[in-house]
Amino acid sequence: MSSEVEDALKRIQHMKDVHGTIIINAEGTPVKTTLDDSTTLQYAALIHQLTATAKGTIREMDPQNDLTFLRIRSKKHEIMVSPEKGFMLIVVQNITEEK
Amino acid sequence: MADKPVDAKGPEKDSDNKEDIKPKSKESTRPESKASSSSKTDEEKKTAPRVKSAKSKKDGKKTGGKGNTKSKPAEPKEESTEKDGGKGGQDSMIPLFISSKSQEIFQCVADEHVTEDNPHKLIPKDAIIQDMRERAAVSDFHPVKQLILDYPADEILLIYDADFKYGQNFVLVSSDEEKQRILNPVVEQAEDGSPTGEEGEAVEEIDPVVYQYVPPEPKEWVSLGSEKEIEESSWKETEQKIRITIRRARREFGGALSFSDRNADDAKDGYIECVPFEDKSFSLKIMELDKDVQAVSTYTDQGSQTVWKHPCNKYTQYAPRELTEEEQKNLLSSETLYNFLDRVTPRFELALQQNDIMDVFRDDWKELGNEDDTFGSKSDNHLKEYQSFTDLQFSRDKVLTCIAWHPSIKGIIAVSCAEKMTYDERVDNSSRIIMTQSLILIWSFSDPIHPQVRALTKPEDSFCFKFNPTDPNIIAGGCINGQIVLWDISKYVDRLKNTQRGKQSKKNAMLNVRYGRGREKPGFEDDSSDKTPVVRYCASAAIESGHRNAVADIQWLPDHMEVNRFGLMVENRNLQSCQLLTASVDGTIGIWDTRPSKSQSQTADDGKEDNPLGVATTFKHLDLTWKPIIKIHMSRLEGSGDYGPVRVSFQERQGDRHLLEKMQKEGSAGKSSIDRKDSNMGGGFGIRSGSAKEKRQLEGATTKFFVGTEDGELIYADLKLEKDPDSGKLVPPRADFVKSFHDRAINTLQRSPFFKDIVLVVGGWNFSVWKEGRESNPLLISAAASKQFTCGFWSPTRPAVFYLGTAEGNIEVWDLLDRTHEASLSQNISASEITNVYPWHLSHKQQLLAVSDNVGTLHILEVPWTLRNLTHGELTSVTSYFDREDKRLEYQEQRESVHQENKRRLDAEEAAKKIAQPPEPSTEEVDNKMRTLWLEYLEDEKKFLLDLGLVEEKEEPLPDV
| Alpha-carbon gap, residue B827 to B837, rounded angstroms | 13
Residue in A9, A15, A22 to test binding to B, most B beta-carbons within 10 Å: A15
Which residues from B are below 8 Å from A97, CB to CB? Answer: 359
Cβ within 8 Å, pair A89-B342 = no
B349 to A12: CB separation less than 8 angstroms, yes or no: yes
pLDDT at B16: 42
Q: How far apart are CA B405 and CA B412, in angstroms?
A: 6
Least Cα separation, residue A82 to chain B (angstroms): 7
Question: Quick one: pLDDT at residue B436?
Answer: 61
Dist CA B476 CA B590 (whole Å): 14
Task: Using DSSP, state whether B437 is helix, strand or coil.
Answer: coil
Which tens digit of pLDDT belongs to each residue from B473-511?
888 888 887 888 888 887 777 777 765 443 333 333 333
E strands present in B564-678: 569-571, 579-584, 588-593, 628-633, 645-650
Q: How far apart are CA B13 and CA B9, in angstroms?
A: 6
Tell me phi and psi for residue A40, to 5 degrees: -60, -45
A78 has a pLDDT exceeding 60:
yes
Check residue B825 and give its pLDDT: 84
Cβ atoms of residues A78 and B355 within 8 Å: yes
Chain pair A-B, CB pairs under 8 angstroms: 100
Residue B41 is inside which H or E element, if any?
helix B30-47
- Mind telling me how many Å the CA of A63 is from chain B's nearest CA? 22
Residues of B in contact with A78 (CB under 8 A): 351, 355
The H-or-E segment that residue B848 falls in is strand B846-853
> Is the distance from CB of B625 to CB of B681 less than 8 angstroms?
no
A68/B338 Cβ within 8 A? no
Q: How many CB atoms lie within 10 A of CB B300?
A: 4
Which residue of B352, B358, B370, B874 is the best one to mutate when testing the A interface, meaning the one whose CB has the most A CBs within 10 A?
B352
Cα–Cα distance measured from residue B332 to residue B328, given in angstroms and rounded to the nearest whole number:
6
B567 Cβ contact list (under 8 Å, min separation 6)? B630, B632, B703, B718, B719, B720, B721, B732
Write the residue in A6, A16, A89 that is nearest to B344 by C-beta. Answer: A89
Residues B800, B877 contacting (CB under 8 angstroms): yes
User: What's CA B144's distance to the chain center, in Å?
Assistant: 94
What residues of A are in the B interface, CB distance below 8 Å?
Answer: 1-2, 4-6, 8-9, 11-12, 15-18, 23, 25, 27-32, 41, 44-45, 68-69, 71, 73, 78, 80, 82, 84-87, 89, 91, 93, 95, 97-99
- Which residues does chain B have within 8 Å of residue A6's beta carbon, measured at their own beta carbons? 332
Residue B879: its chain A contacts at CB < 8 A? none
* 0.95 surpassed by complex ipTM: no
Low-confidence ranges of chain B (pLDDT < 50): 1-89, 188-205, 372, 374-376, 500-529, 600-615, 669-693
A1 to each of A9, A11, A85, B331, B336, how far by Cα in Å? 13, 16, 19, 10, 10
CB B397 within 8 A of CB B418: no
- State the number of CA atoms in the 13 A half-sphere of A26 facing the CB: 6
Q: What pLDDT does B70 receive?
A: 40
Contact list, B356 vs chain A (CB under 8 Å)? 15-17
Given a contact cutoff of 8 angstroms between Cβ atoms, the answer to whether B631 and B588 are in contact is yes
CA distance B340 to chain A (A): 7
3-state helix, strand, coil in chain A (%, to 5): 35, 30, 30
Torsion, Cα B901 B905 B906 B909, to 10 degrees, reads: 180
Instruction: Give helix then strand counts, H and E, for chain A.
Output: 2, 5
Report the C-alpha gap between B753 and B793 in whole angstroms: 10
pLDDT value of position B223: 81
Region for residue B608 given its phi and psi (left: phi exceeds 0; alpha: psi -120 to 50; beta: otherwise): alpha
Q: Cβ separation of A29 and B322 shorter than 8 Å?
A: yes
Q: Name the amino acid, one letter, at B220.
A: E
With CA atoms as reference, the chain B residue closest to A95 would be B355
Residue of A nearest to B319 (CA): A41
Distances (CA, A) of B920 to B187, B891, B925, B926: 165, 44, 10, 10
Write out B914-952 in H/E/C secondary structure: HHHCCCCCCHHHHHHHHHHHHHHHHHHHHHHHHHHCCCC
Q: Is B656 exposed, middle or buried (CB count within 10 Å of its CB: 0-12, 13-18, 19+)? A: middle
Rounded-to-integer distance, Cα B87 and Cα B374, Å = 113
Alpha-carbon distances of B135 from B130, B131, B939, B951, rounded to whole Å = 9, 6, 211, 215
Enumerate chain B positions whose Cβ falls within 8 A of a Cβ in A: 320-323, 328-329, 331-338, 340-345, 347-349, 351-353, 355-356, 359, 361, 872-873, 875-876
Helix residue ranges, H only, B162-281: 176-183, 187-206, 226-233
| A17, A91, A95: best to mutate for the B interface, most B CBs within 10 A | A91
Residue type at B150?
D
Candidates B750, B741, B838, B736; CA nearest to B780 is B741
**Nearest-CA distance from B320 to chain A in Å?**
7
Q: What distance in Å separates the CA atoms of residue B702 and residue B720, rounded to the nearest whole number?
A: 9
3-state DSSP assignment of residue B354: helix
CA-CA distance, B17 to B749, in Å (whole number)?
116
Which member of A5, A80, A99 has the closest CB to residue B337? Answer: A5
3-state helix, strand, coil in chain B (%, to 5): 35, 20, 45
CA B647, chain centre distance (Å): 45
CA nearest neighbour of B141 among B99, B196, B182, B175: B99
CB contact under 8 A, B348 and A80: yes
The answer to whether B328 contacts A32, with C-beta atoms less than 8 Å apart, is yes
- Contact call for residues A4 and B340 (beta carbons, < 8 A): no
CA angle, residues B293, B299, B304, in degrees to nearest 5: 165
CA–CA distance, B405 with B410 (Å, rounded to integer): 8
Nearest alpha carbon to residue B866 among B365, B364, B385, B373: B373
Q: Residue B616: what residue type?
A: A
Judged by CB atoms closer than 8 Å, whether chains meet at A9 and B341 is answered as yes
Enclosing H/E stretch for B385: strand B384-389
For residues B765 and B789, is the Cβ–Cβ distance under 8 A? yes
Taking CA B917 as the corner, what is the angle to CA B915 and CA B921, rounded to the nearest 5 degrees? 135
Q: How far is CA B444 from the centre of its chain?
A: 30
Taking alpha carbons only, the member of B392, B401, B463 closest to residue B852 is B401
CB contact under 8 A, B333 and A5: yes
The answer to whether the Cβ–Cβ distance between B333 and A2 falls below 8 Å is yes
Beta carbons of A71 and B348 less than 8 Å apart:
no
Q: Which of B324, B330, B332, B357 to mutate against chain A (most A CBs within 10 Å)? A: B332
Per CB-CB distance under 8 Å, the chain A contacts of B345 are: 8, 11-12, 89
| Burial of B29: CB neighbours in 10 Å, binned 0-12, 13-18, 19+ | exposed
Min CA distance, A5 vs chain B (Å)?
6
Residue of A nearest to B330 (CA): A2
Chain A residue with the nearest C-alpha to that of B329 = A2
Q: C-alpha B632: how far from its chain's center?
A: 51
Task: Report the C-alpha gap between A94 and A13 in whole angstroms.
Answer: 12
Helices (H) and strands (E) in chain B, counts: 23, 37
Whether the Cβ atoms of residue B556 and residue B487 lie closer than 8 Å to each other = no
CB B785 within 8 A of CB B812: no
Give how far A73 is from chain B: nearest CA, Å.
9
Q: Is the pLDDT at A11 greater than 60, yes or no?
A: yes
B703-737 in b/e form (b: 16+ CB < 10 A) is: bbbbbbbbbbbbbbbbbbbeeeeeeeeebbbebee
Give φ, ψ of B791 to 5 degrees: -165, 165
Cβ atoms within 10 Å of A23's Cβ, excluding its own: 23
B336: nearest Cα among A16, A18, A1: A1
Q: Looking at CA atoms only, how far is residue B873 from chain A in angstroms?
A: 6
The amino acid sitting at B409 is: I
Check if the beta carbon of residue B439 is closer than 8 Å to that of residue B455.
yes
The DSSP letter of residue B889 is H
